[in-house]
């Protein structure tokens, strides 16, 4: 199960759970809300996400591209291994993703 909650200390959201076929609609809804959060930088905390499938990574790439088109940034924090692995396998396709150091 995937859940989303606002971050208490900065503009953004925290996702928890798995991002896969069963939670695709929840992820799409959460990212739709995240893209409407005002501010030049919006944070997406993935520290409680266990797994992201390739479609979930594609949704994150699309959300990041939306931010870029608006002249803003989506900053991803603490991505799970599965996201890092997909980025490693498809660096060009995932170039829009910005992960906090």
Query: Rounded distance, CA 96 to CA 63, Å?
Result: 9
Specify the pairing of strand 3-6 against strand 12-19. Answer: antiparallel
pLDDT tens, residue order, the chain (101 aa): 899 999 999 999 999 999 999 999 999 999 999 999 999 999 999 999 999 999 999 999 999 999 999 999 999 999 999 999 999 999 999 999 999 96
- Check: CB of residue 79 under 8 Å from CB of residue 99: yes
pLDDT score for 53 = 94
């Amino acid at each position: 199960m995937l859940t989303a909650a606002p971050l208490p200390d900065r503009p953004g959201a925290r996702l928890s759970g798995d991002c896969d076929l069963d939670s695709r609609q929840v992820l799409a809804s959460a990212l739709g809300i995240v893209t409407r959060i005002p501010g030049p930088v919006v944070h997406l905390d993935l520290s409680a996400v266990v797994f992201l499938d390739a479609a979930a990574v594609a949704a994150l790439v699309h959300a990041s591209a939306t931010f870029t088109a608006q002249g803003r940034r989506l900053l991803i924090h603490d991505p799970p291994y599965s996201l890092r692995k997909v980025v490693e396998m498809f660096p060009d396709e995932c170039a829009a993703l910005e992960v906090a150091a």
